[in-house]
Structure 1
Amino acid sequence: MADPAARLNQPLLAALALQPHHTLLDLASGAGEPAITAAKDMNPAQGSEGGRVLASDLVPAMLAGARRRGAGVAALSFLAADMTALPLAPASVDRISCRFGLMFVPDAAGAVAEMHRVLRPGGIAALLCWGPKVGNTLFRLLDEALGGVPELAVLFRFAEEGALGRLFLDAGFDTVSETSLEQSALADPAKPFWRPTLDMAFTPALARMSAEGRAAVEDRIAAAVALETKLDGKIPVHLHARLLVAHK
């Protein structure tokens, strides 16, 4: 699933219109994307005038993987920070990115207000959030196999068209646009390609299960995957996201 995920990075980074001298703040960086990709394109040869990327996350341990993956990238630095209370001066960054992170923040409006505060006039914020669950094969199949997981609802908090845009307009951003992005991949049903998503997105539900319960869930997932496998022996896996671009 790395390839379709990377293809979602491309329109997100393109929307930022990054220049070599810009400072990009990436929120909820997790394992490091799109911060690492953006930082590799910065020009460290310009010294203090060169661009930089701040990869931030609420949980310092989440940045450990990003530090390993981004080792040696000169323009990349790391910041443990709550996006509702950023330790940055007003109007101190040129661009802000956030890939599949804002929906996890209880005070999403507060986080967007902070984005507006630290962004320079003329700056751009670009975010990705999940579109409807029905358009996301992995989430749909795993949720069905688990019999419906209430905690999953937070992933689709901004799935409704316009829901995310209203937050940014209310925070004072001048212009806001939303675009639907859809990607597909062909997966091998003989391989548990769904297991990383199961482990990451369904942790609370899995924690309540016994080993036998977990095994039963995995059996149901494998059966569901088999049902959706096509004649060519592959299963089409669709991703549906929403790209929001806001200008200050």
Structure 2
Amino acid sequence: MRRWQNSGAAWDRWADSMADPAARLNQPLLAALDLAPHHILLDLASGAGEPALTAAQGMGSTGRVLASDLVPAMLAGARRRGGGIDALSFIAADMTALPLAPASVDRISCRFGLMFVPDAAAAAREAYRVLRPGGIAALLCWGPQADNTLFRLLDTVLGGVPDLAVLFRFAQTGSLSGLLRDAGFGTVTESSLRQSALAEGAKPFWRPTLDMAFAPALAGLSREERALLEHRITAAVAAETGMDGRVPVHLHARLVVARKD
């Protein structure tokens, strides 16, 4: 809980500037949900707002998106950006004890959230409980840390961050799929989502990830210590920068889609 209370402001601060990278992850997730304008979508661990905001913009007059998060502070940015979207509602909710009736939603989305829940199996069972028969749940989790350039680079510079390991809890192929099958879901498919981009080595393209993912590790640093850390990151980035001044940045996530029969 404290991790996210301390991280909420950073996620809000960077959410607007990170809209394009977020959209590249939203597209396959939302496509897998096969949303219709009349559906009710429950978005778990909405954080700063995606993919709930994007999904709500396509809803009709009878559709609704419920953006949920355990920590109200994490939803502050989502409320700011989505305040004018009629189809969007916000609820503070524990994934393991959702304040919803059985079979009350048509779709469930969760983007990089389930791995933080201590009892992920209970969260999967709750998702199954509130989903209507024939409904679809689509979840994104991170693939191996070695395949995700920013996490690998920053974790190396910081000397290994214990709290970071939870991000890769479902990195092994089939681990999240198995959890959903055990919860009762019938048809479960899993696919790898890989993206690559070239970043300008001279620009601090790594700073949003540093602030958002590593907030607990940075909380106790003085201004001088933070400056030294950023100097070390800049040096590490320079070591991976090509002759053209750009750095290849790779991302590997897993998209798991489950249907309730």
The CA deviation at 1:203 is 1.9
Matches within 5 A, 1:201-212: 201-212=213-224
The CA deviation at 1:208 is 4.0
| Distance in 2 of aligned mates of 1:160 and 1:116 | 22
Q: Residue in 1 aligned with 2:11?
A: none
Mapped contact 1:112–1:168 kept (Cα < 8 A): yes
Q: Residue in 2 aligned with 1:139?
A: 151
The CA deviation at 1:205 is 1.8
2:30 corresponds to 1:13: yes
Consecutive unaligned residues in structure 2, runs of 5 or more: 1-17
The CA deviation at 1:139 is 0.3
Aligned counterpart in structure 2 of residue 215 of structure 1, from 227, 230, 233:
227
| Distance in 1 of aligned mates of 2:83 and 2:242 | 41
Q: Deviations over 1:167-200 (max 9, x none)?
A: 1010000011111001122212222121121111
Aligned pair count reads 243
Q: Residue in 2 aligned with 1:47?
A: none
Mapped contact 2:22–2:50 kept (Cα < 8 A): no
Q: Deviations over 1:126-171 (max 9, x none)?
A: 0000101111110000001011111110000000000101110100
2:79 corresponds to 1:30: no
Q: CA RMSD for the aligned pairs?
A: 1.2
Aligned counterpart in structure 1 of residue 58 of structure 2, from 35, 41, 45:
41
| Distance in 1 of aligned mates of 2:19 and 2:244 | 21
Superposed structure 1 runs of 4+ greater than 2 Å apart: 1-5, 207-216
Q: Residue in 2 aligned with 1:192?
A: 204
Percent identity over the alignment is: 78
- What TM-score results when the alignment is normalised by the length of structure 1? 0.95
Mapped contact 1:100–1:128 kept (Cα < 8 A): yes
Mapped contact 1:4–1:184 kept (Cα < 8 A): no
The CA deviation at 1:226 is 0.8
Secondary structure (helix, strand or coil) at the match of 2:137 reads: strand
Q: Deviations over 1:69-102 (max 9, x none)?
A: 1121111111111111100000000000000100
Aligned counterpart in structure 2 of residue 232 of structure 1, from 236, 244, 247:
244
Q: Residue in 2 aligned with 1:122?
A: 134
| Distance in 2 of aligned mates of 1:185 and 1:3 | 12
Equivalent residue letter for 1:73: I
| Distance in 2 of aligned mates of 1:69 and 1:187 | 27
- What TM-score results when the alignment is normalised by the length of structure 2? 0.90
